[in-house]
Structure 1
Amino acid sequence: MKRLMIAVLCASLAACASSGRLGSDQRLALYRAHAGAPQSDMPFQGNLNGWNELGDSALAVWTRPGQAFLLELTGPCPDLPYAQAIGLTSRVGRVSARLDKVLVRGPGPGPQMPCYIGSIRPLDVKALRTSEQQLRHAQAQARED
């Protein structure tokens, strides 16, 4: 099933094969396909191991190398695709959906733009990495053809 989803995702978009990169919509679809059920909160000890923007209304955050979450925001966060850094608000070591925010730091010295978290979903990091590798392989084959 996941193999079919990857093939459809890449085949349905000519830009995937020609540019060698997935767009934000395609990356978000891939991350959603590997996300679990929404949960009310996630653990957070003040530091992120990494993050990926997935357009202007979602991002993936790694709290540890093997633990990641898909955060979908309540609305567009215009500075997210251009952010140099992000932060998360939290309470007692937990980030909560509908209460906490992603703080986006853009290129300028201006204030941080707060973006409210609408949902939190755990990611299957191993399956996500496998799918990304399969997509890269499919893209390489499409470029060779």
Structure 2
Amino acid sequence: MKRLAIALFAAAALAGCATTGKLSSSERLELYRAHAGAPVRDFQYFGSLNGWTELGDSALAVWTKPSEAWLLSLSGPCMDLSYAPAIGVTSMMGRVSAKFDRVIVRSGSPGMAPIPCRIDSIQPLDVKALRASEKELRDAKVEARAEDQGSGGN
């Protein structure tokens, strides 16, 4: 069932990125959701992130290690998340907890106060499967572009 959902998403994503060449935030969010496990209450956090990816204005993925990532759904729209140069997360005793902790959006504007956004849910991501799916999408996109250019169409 999960494979069917991924295949359907891949077909839709290819149609969507045929003109832009890039997945939209909502398409990326669906891809990440397809590789997310059941919600958990919290995760261990050592004070720094290995990376993060915005997935629209109410979700993001954070990497705590190169092979460990979490899908964070926020309680509402988080202003400027798509444009933020940096983010932070609050934690208590080395744990980030759903319903309690927040993502802090660091704006690039001097004098602007950081914007806190409450974490509504946390889901572990299957990083290996997510990377494989992203590679499949990239390969399929390159193949579709080559076929399109070979037929002389736009």
Unpaired stretches in structure 2, ≥5 consecutive residues: 148-154
Letter in 2 for 1:5: A
Which residue number in structure 2 is paired with residue 5 of structure 1?
5
Letter in 1 for 2:61: A
- Structure index of larger Rg: 2
Secondary structure at the residue paired with 1:60? strand
Secondary structure at the residue paired with 1:12? helix
- 8 Å CA contact retained: 1:56, 1:77: yes
State the 1:10 CA deviation: 3.5
State the 1:3 CA deviation: 4.8
- RMSD across aligned C-alpha pairs, in angstroms? 1.3
- 8 Å CA contact retained: 1:53, 1:59: yes
Q: Distance in 2 between matches of 1:66 and 1:10?
A: 23
Unpaired stretches in structure 1, ≥5 consecutive residues: none
TM-score w.r.t. the length of structure 2 is: 0.89
Which residue number in structure 1 is paired with residue 146 of structure 2?
144
Letter in 2 for 1:115: C
Secondary structure at the residue paired with 2:8? helix
Which residue number in structure 2 is paired with residue 17 of structure 1?
18
State the 1:74 CA deviation: 0.4
* Matched pairs, number: 145
Q: Distance in 1 between matches of 2:30 and 2:121?
A: 15
State the 1:9 CA deviation: 1.9
Letter in 2 for 1:9: F
The share of aligned pairs that are identical, in percent, is 61
Which residue number in structure 2 is paired with residue 64 of structure 1?
65
TM-score w.r.t. the length of structure 1 is: 0.95
- 8 Å CA contact retained: 2:6, 2:34: no
Q: Distance in 2 between matches of 1:19 and 1:10?
A: 15
Which residue number in structure 1 is paired with residue 134 of structure 2?
132
1:50 corresponds to 2:57: no
State the 1:5 CA deviation: 3.1
Q: Distance in 2 between matches of 1:12 and 1:75?
A: 26
Q: In the TM superposition, what whole-angstrom CA distance separates every residue of 1:22-58 from its partner, at most 9, and x where no partner exists?
A: 0001000000000000000011010000000000000
State the 1:4 CA deviation: 3.6
